[in-house]
Chains A and B, each alone.
Chain A
Amino acid sequence: MTMSTLPAQPGDHPQRPASDGPARSRPTASVAHLDEPYPAMPVRRIGIGTMFRIEFRKLVDTWAGKLLLAGILGIVAVICAWLIFRQDGEQVNFADFGRAQVNVVGLLAPVIGLMAITAEWTQRTALTTFTLMPRRGQVLLAKVLASLVLTIATIAASLLLTAGSAWLAGQLHGGGVSVAGAADVVRSTLIVGALTTVMASAFGALVAQTAIAVALYFLAPTAYSMISQALFPEAAKWLDVFSAFDRLSSTHPGADLPATLLSITVWIVIPAVVGFTWAMRREVK
């Protein structure tokens, strides 16, 4: 039955090639209308683009994904509303006005990608995913790319919401809006968002239990940051991933580069390499 692996030729359906023994109709489920020759469905290799579309859809087609996305945008809206409310007559600076919102999005949006990876194991959908798409490395790559795009899209949406709110605040209180430093906010949010997305996906691959992975992603770097500041404040920067993010998103991204690189290696690169290697080899049950 090698025919199935070749693109179907127009007109050869539903007969099989003569070499395939006696001509039979295609094995299709038993409903009358399927006995009709089916429109040709050429067999194509599953490309990374198709995998990306599937994995992106999977981020937002479950209740968990939709709720998290709605929750993130809801928090942004609430912060914006609060800032509009407490604005006085001074000029509104977009960069200051939006700082809290973009930080929240940069931290929370990657959790959707984390959950998309852990769900494959906890809900055991990996059984179907890796059966339909056996090239696991490409599927995992598609997952991280999809999560990156979703994070960036969420950041873009919240930046728009924030910009609108800042304008409104300026109008309502008569102080107007300044966009000085807005480009820096956008740039730093994208850098931090991309890094936290990879970090969250890596934690998801490494731990594969949703609750524990989420807890580790949120708590472990913070806990390290607090403890190290207390115990060895002068050396704390070496493994503090948050201060590395701060430096990268500042106007001097190259400052303390060795410390930044080490922090990112320990908190992002190593979890990613170990987590994705394990996900590649892990037996799916």
Chain B
Amino acid sequence: MITVENVTRRYGSFVAVDNVSFECAPGTVTGFLGPNGAGKSTTLRILAGLTPASSGRATISGRDYHALPNPGRVVGIMLDAAAQHPGRTGSETLRLAATALGVPRQRIGEMLDVVGLADAGGRRVGQYSLGMRQRLGIATALLGDPQVLILDEPANGMDPEGIRWMRELLRDFAARGGTVLLSSHLLSEVQATVDHLVVIGRGRIVAQGKLADLLHGGGTLVRGIDQPALAAALQRAGLQPEQTSAGAWRVATDPETVAKAAMDARQLVVEIRSDDAGLEDLFFSLTGDVDRHAA
């Protein structure tokens, strides 16, 4: 469980995080989304107890970070995979963390196994690719067997296969009752992984909720054998189909409603799907106007 309540962080007159509130429940994967410089990392650092909030409160499992006796056993955190000592081996990096966490040494090998670095544990981190450092960072986060995971840009530098692996790992973690919060500046990177979204722009939350609900605005694309008849049928059902440039009808509702309307009018549908071409549009419409290229 992650709770952020009215958190604000100021640097002089600059407000990096502005009255941000959200909650991540056990069993869910939340994507924390926003352009670079929107306040994602500052919010995550506040959650990790590294940066004090100017006002408001952030808690993990109901407690302030600094009140956790051994925080790594409650929450696994990776804020920057590049921030690892290049002169240490992968297993040595985990061993230092294992000592702090008080977990048995056998867990080091197991975690290297889990993240696919079993053969690379003896190599120095300086020889790792960014994707391998991400895996090592995730291994460090998982080492304490936490109930909460907080990962900043974990997909950064990972190949498609790595992103798919991470998606399964995080979905599995959540399916076992864990809470996951991961940030990204690319919606496409996380849209298949997350079930909730918190979107931030210029320090403020601009949208949050279930992924499906937020995407609902994209509507449904439908194509029939007899396109004019299908449009008439949809209109009779009280829907307002619009023609897309590709020749399909876009309807501002969910696919089930559209399918029922078509069936009631005995219209044969050859294609029907959620309009997820609008995913990036949603993201840009939510953040584009508050994106600060100047900052």
| A→B interface (CB under 8 Å) | 1-2, 4-5, 16, 21, 24-31, 33-34, 38-39, 41-46, 50-51, 53-54, 57-58, 61-65, 119, 123-128, 130-134, 283-285
Contacts and interface: CB of A to CB of B under 8 A. Distances in A.
Contacts, number: 148
Given A24-B176, A58-B96, 13 more contacts: A2-B61, A5-B74, A25-B177, A27-B178, A30-B172, A33-B110, A43-B70, A46-B69, A50-B102, A131-B77, A134-B71, A284-B50, A284-B51
Contacts of A4: 61, 73-74, 146-147
Contacts of A34: 110, 114
Interface string B84-128: 111110001001110111111000001101110000000010000
Given A5-B74, A131-B72, A29 B173 contact: yes
A21 B70 CA distance: 24
Contacts of B96: 54, 57-58, 61
Given A1-B61, A29-B169, A46-B100, A62 B145 contact: no
A127 B80 CA distance: 8
Q: Return the 3 tightest CB-CB contacts between A and B, nearest first.
A: A27-B178, A62-B87, A24-B177
B82 A124 contact: yes
B83 A27 contact: no
Contact of A128 (B26, B97, B142): B97
17 contacts: A1-B26, A1-B148, A2-B61, A2-B62, A16-B177, A24-B27, A30-B168, A31-B110, A41-B73, A50-B100, A57-B96, A58-B96, A124-B80, A125-B84, A131-B71, A131-B72, A131-B79
Contacts of A26: 145, 147, 176-177
Contact of B103 (A33, A41, A124, A284): A41
Interface residues of B, number: 60
B134 interface: no
B234 interface: no
A133 B88 CA distance: 19
Contacts of A38: 145
Nearest to B106: A39
B231 interface: no
A42 B104 contact: no
A31 B114 contact: yes
Given A54-B99, A124-B80, A125-B84, A31 B113 contact: yes
A27 B168 CA distance: 13
Contacts of B77: 131
A53 B73 CA distance: 19
B175 to A, nearest CB: 8
A63 B89 CA distance: 10
B193 to A, nearest CB: 14
B56 to A, nearest CB: 17
B71 A132 contact: yes
Nearest to A120: B85
Contacts of B69: 5, 43-46
Nearest to B152: A127
Contacts of A284: 45, 50-51
A220 to B, nearest CB: 27
Contact of B70 (A44, A62, A63): A44
A5 B83 contact: no
B206 interface: no
A267 B70 CA distance: 36
